[in-house]
A = this chain, B = another copy of it.
Amino acid sequence: MTNKGKATSIDIAYLAGVSQSTVSRALRNSPLVKPETVARIQQIARELNYKVDKHASSLRTQQSTTLALLLFEDPTSDDSLINPFFLSMLGSITRACAIKGYDLLVSFQQLSDDWHADYEDSHKADGIILLGYGDDVDYQPKMQQLDAQGTRYVRWGADSGTLCVSSDNRQGGILATQHLIELGHQRIAFIGDASNHYPELFARYQGYAASLLAAGISLEPGLQVDAITTEESGYKATCALLDSKSAGDFTAIFAASDLIAIGAMQALTERGLMPGKDVAIVGFDDLPLARFTTPALTTVRQDTKLAGETLVDKLISRIRGESVEAVTIPTQLIVRNSCGALPGKV
């Protein structure tokens, strides 16, 4: 079959001496077709290297067996650098889709883009996975629009009314903070979002706050600095912290993400402070690179594998019309060397 025109079901029908409808049925193992006919037809199809045309099939059945992954980036972050965390998620989502027999379309979007539901409107995908940090205020209108259009989607992030899969960020914050407290730290700074712009980071803050209070340590506003999930932001926030007199003598930092933690470690090092010795640091995410920082970063691991699988599962359920609930995935503290130091003065 060197002719470029790929074989169609009609070709097979001709070769098998049956009608095209029978071929269509046989290829999908319809019980309406006699078993030996099915076998014969499938054999011929195999020989011809025939594959069902995705578009024809999708057009007729009105479903594409394709999911779209929309990763949208905070416009404030570096244009070309994708957060490694999402890259990990992408990996696990890809795998989960393959297992479920769905194709995966991937697209990176600016939050400002008018992407809303394009993928579903044009029937490119049966459902959408939304991935990305970002100010919740920016998301809300989009979500509402999706809901209004009846678009099937799941979102990674913090619970916000819509169908959502997320790590247990609050619990992760508790894990991190308790660890520091157990090591004897009392003045623990938090770098991240404490004002609920980024719900995930905010939940980590809540865990932090809850742990402190539970340990009888009062919250000090001066020990909290806002940052988004980039090194630059973590770096700047830490500098601000070091410069402020009120922060004075913190002995530990809970960074709301590994990237922030890395920026923080840079800032500390530049000021002659040794991370892990002079100041303990805990991050969040457990990026692949967390093992390779110096000192190796103690951090809260998000289970990206499970997360990806769950996102895909839930989305497929939703596409099938089943009712689905939000899911929270536990986190895990990974102890490395960045808290190795005894609490010391800054």
Binding site for B on A (CB under 8 A): 4, 6, 49-56, 58-59, 64, 66, 69, 80-82, 84, 87, 90-92, 94-95, 98, 103-108, 118, 121-124, 149-150, 262, 288-289, 292-294, 305
Interfacial chain B residues near A94, Cβ < 8 Å: 106-108
User: When the two chains form their complex, are residues B105 and A103 in contact, meaning their CB atoms are under 8 A apart?
Assistant: yes
Number of copies: 2
Whole-angstrom distance from the CB of A95 to the nearest CB of chain B? 6
B49 adjacent to A121 (CB under 8 Å): yes
Task: Please tell me which one of the listed residues B54, B82, B121, B293 contacts residue A124 in the complex, with CB atoms under 8 A apart.
Answer: B54
Can you report 28 A-B residue pairs in the complex whose CB atoms are below 8 A from each other? A4-B150, A49-B121, A53-B122, A54-B55, A54-B122, A54-B124, A55-B58, A55-B64, A55-B123, A56-B59, A69-B106, A80-B91, A80-B92, A80-B305, A82-B87, A84-B87, A87-B91, A90-B90, A94-B108, A98-B107, A98-B108, A103-B105, A103-B124, A104-B106, A105-B106, A106-B106, A292-B294, A294-B294
CB distance from A72 to the nearest CB of B (A): 12
Choose from B4, B84, B107, B121 the contact partner of A103 (Cβ within 8 Å).
B107
A24 vs B288: C-alpha distance in the bound complex, in angstroms? 49
CA gap between A121 and B57 in the complex, in Å: 13
Q: Looking across the interface, which residue of chain B has its beta carbon closest to that of A97?
A: B107
Neighbour of A6 across the interface among B51, B108, B121, CB < 8 A: B121
A211 to B91, CA, bound (A): 38
Name the contact of A292 in the complex, choosing from B49, B122, B292 (C-beta under 8 A).
B292
Contact check, B84 vs A288: say whether CB atoms are below 8 A apart: yes
Q: Is B82 in contact with A91, judged by CB distance below 8 angstroms?
A: yes
Shortest CB–CB separation between residue A9 and chain B, in angstroms? 13
Cα(A69)–Cα(B49), bound, Å: 21
A64 to chain B: which residues have CB within 8 Å? 54-55
Contact in complex: B293, A81 (CB < 8 Å): no
Considering the chains assembled together, what is the distance between the CA atoms of A150 and B81 in angstroms? Answer: 35
Give the docked Cα–Cα distance between A293 and B297 (Å).
11
Asked whether B105 lies within 8 Å of A107 as measured between CB atoms, the reply is no
